[in-house]
Amino acid sequence: MPSPIVVFDLDGTLVDTAPDLIDTLNLILARHDVAPLAFERGRTMIGGGVKPLLVQALATRDIKLSPHDLDRLFAEYLELYAAHIADRSRPFPGLEGALDLLAARGWRFAVCTNKLEWLSVRLLDALDLSRRFAAICGQDTFGVQKPDPEILRRTIARAGGDIALAVMVGDSMTDVATARNAGVPVVAVDFGYTETPPHAFGADRLISHFDALPAAVEALARVRT
């Protein structure tokens, strides 16, 4: 029987991945004699994925690559990042306690991210979190990516959840748009990676710590029933 489900974004929502993403970026830049990017500047660039991160970082140095050269740099980045995917990345505070509480109340969980699926699984495996999620889906899983609502719908279906009892959790306008497009209520976190103030996302709830997640999720579930 379909279950109520919470679907999470990954980078900047479940896990603070910025240290390893920016470390990898700066190692790649150094290999190509490009000056490093300041951590706080790079942190706001993460939400769009690795290729946009590379493009934006290089643009700050007035460098524009051809599609072929960008693909080569992307492959180089992925190889290095995969080897150091959880050197400094950690779950955000309170995550595991919130998952334990919600799981005890019958909720199941899934990940819906624009990160590649195999990288997402590798990261969550390294942090001993994969076992908590009924599905881990990335931009390559179904051939669509956020904000296309189809990736959220298919993630929910793969996890055995009920879209009528689903809640999305994310840290960006893209996450909120994905949820809206799928007709799913959404909780935004204010500790993620975005240049847009989180209160401007238009989410149904905004939280500053995962301790507040169970109450937010269950309030939204009650509204729908």
Phi-psi label, residue 16: left if phi above 0, alpha if psi -120 to 50, beta otherwise: beta
Residue 204 known to be catalytic: no
- Per CATH, domain 3-16+89-224 is 3.40.50.1360: no
pLDDT score of 20: 97
9, 16, 171, 175: the active-site residue: 9
Percent of the chain with pLDDT over 70: 98
What predicted TM-score, i.e. pTM, was given to this entire model?
0.95
In the chain, where do the E strands start and end? Answer: 3-8, 15-16, 90-91, 108-112, 135-137, 161-170, 186-189, 205-207
Kindly report, residue by residue over 108-156, the tens digit of the pLDDT. Answer: 999 999 999 999 999 999 999 999 999 999 999 999 999 999 999 999 9
Give CATH 3.40.50.1000 domain extents, the chain: 3-16+89-224
| Mean pLDDT value across residues 39-58 | 90
Give CATH 1.10.150 domain extents, the chain: 18-83
pLDDT > 70? residue 224: no
Instruction: Return the structure tokens found at 103.
Output: 């799981």
The answer to whether the beta carbons of residues 5 and 156 sit under 8 Å apart is yes
Kindly report, residue by residue over 58-106, the tens digit of the pLDDT. Answer: 999 999 999 999 999 999 999 999 999 999 999 999 999 999 999 999 9
The topology under which CATH files domain 18-83 is: DNA polymerase; domain 1 (1.10.150)
